[in-house]
Amino acid sequence: MENERIISNRQLILLRDISSLSAELNMPCYLVGGSVRDILLEQPINDLDIVLEANAIEFGNALVKKIGGRLTTHPKFHTAIWHLPESLAEHIQPSFLDLITARSETYKTPGALPTVTPSTMEDDLRRRDFTINAMAIRLDGDHFGELLDPLNGQSDLKYGLIRILHPRSFIDDPTRIFRAIRYEGRYSFHLESSTSESINSTSLDIFRMLSGERIRHELDLIFEEEQALSMIQRLQELDTFKYIHQKLPDFNPAYSDFLEMDMGLDIPASRAALGYILWLMDLNEDAILSISRRLEFTSELTHSVWAASQLKKSLPFLTNSKPSLWALALEKLPLLSVYVVYLDSGEGSLLNYISFWRHVKPHTTGNDLKAHGLPPGPRYGEILTQLRAAWLDGEITNEKEEKELLNTLL
């Protein structure tokens, strides 16, 4: 665990501090899940998830007392989040650690959230999604660095296999199907045969019971992956979309190159938002709104998808228009929607709007109009709009010409 390319020196020091405290309190303590998987794959780790064969909330309070920071507790789930003190948070990301009491889980109904009960570390590993995520590295005292691997996850890592832990795994939690596809694509792994067979109509039908928020969260994570398109296509192959929404289309492969944002354009947006617009903008309005409700999109995201759809349909009517007309048509639309339609159409006026036209403003302000004796009212907006249009269309090119035009408008 002492390779700085995989785990930073500060992360290691923090784990040593946790090790010391857990040994002092006689609370067996483990690093678990994705962190262990990535250490064994010799990839840099991001999250540090800690499981204790003891009371995680009690241990969290001890960490705050000894090292600092603050604690958010979730007694119902026997978990806590330790928010690192600022001196550590500046150097370790994310700036918090999940502290979890080792537990077992039971599912009252398929797709429901589990009921948790404190248990042993081995039981905790057996509740996890895949063998490659069901390993732990012990941290406390002299046990520091010992690997716990009761389900042969290290072997599956070696052979590149995604394997569920029991036949009902996808029925208990069908979101694991999304995670299986993520890991398969991210690491170029394969679904083990019985795991692949478990993705069937019985497990997929449970999607109908899941909240849109849970499904959308998993899709968000996929869109943030480097191999997002291949993962979406894999979900298509497995026939998952019709179980989420009957009108959810296949992702158009022609849009595959558009999933990367041009950061130079200063358009604040996530890859997920970009992905949803590309995925859904070719649908009709009713389908867009229906899918948006099913996946519990924010109103902002719903509007962005709808706006892109409407703009794409309107392009033939805007072609060869003056810049001022383009600006008038686009200024109330989300920039991301305009950008996506530009990617699809290659219409240069859309890029001109994003890069230049939207920033054009006349020198004249409302205060200037007031100084000319014009009483405040709708006429202010009309004059400023006309001045801006003149700049955009090249009818004026300097401040002197703007003043001359203003005099004709007053």
At residue 349, φ and ψ (nearest 5 deg) are -65, -30
Res. 263: pLDDT tops 70: no
In angstroms, the Cα distances linking 35 to 31, 79, 134, 239, 275 are 7, 18, 11, 31, 27
What is the C-alpha to C-alpha distance for residues 300 and 29, in angstroms, rounded to an integer? 43
What the chain holds in terms of domains, given with CATH numbers, is 1-159 (3.30.460.10), 160-244 (1.10.110.30), 366-409 (no CATH)
Instruction: Tell me if 271 sits within 8 A of 259, measured CB to CB.
Output: yes
Smallest CA-to-CA distance from 79 within 24, 37, 118, 39 is with 118
Residue 339 has a pLDDT of: 95
pLDDT value of position 190? 97
Query: Does the structure show a pLDDT above 90 at 31?
Result: yes
Phi first, then psi: what are they for 373, rounded to 5°? 90, 10
pLDDT in tens, 61-95: 999 999 999 999 999 888 999 999 988 888 887 78
Q: How far is CA 228 from CA 44, 300, 342, in A?
A: 20, 23, 21
214-231 pLDDT, tens digit each: 999 999 999 999 999 999
- Residue 94, preceding bond cis, omega within 30 degrees? yes
Whole-angstrom distance, CA of residue 125 vs CA of residue 51 = 10
Query: Rounded CA gap, 288 and 281, in Å?
Result: 8
Residue 182 pLDDT:
97
- What tens digit of pLDDT does each residue of 136-191 get? 999 998 889 999 999 999 999 999 999 999 999 999 999 999 999 999 999 999 99
Is 70 exceeded by the pLDDT of residue 369?
Answer: yes
Q: What tokens were used for 212?
A: 């849109």
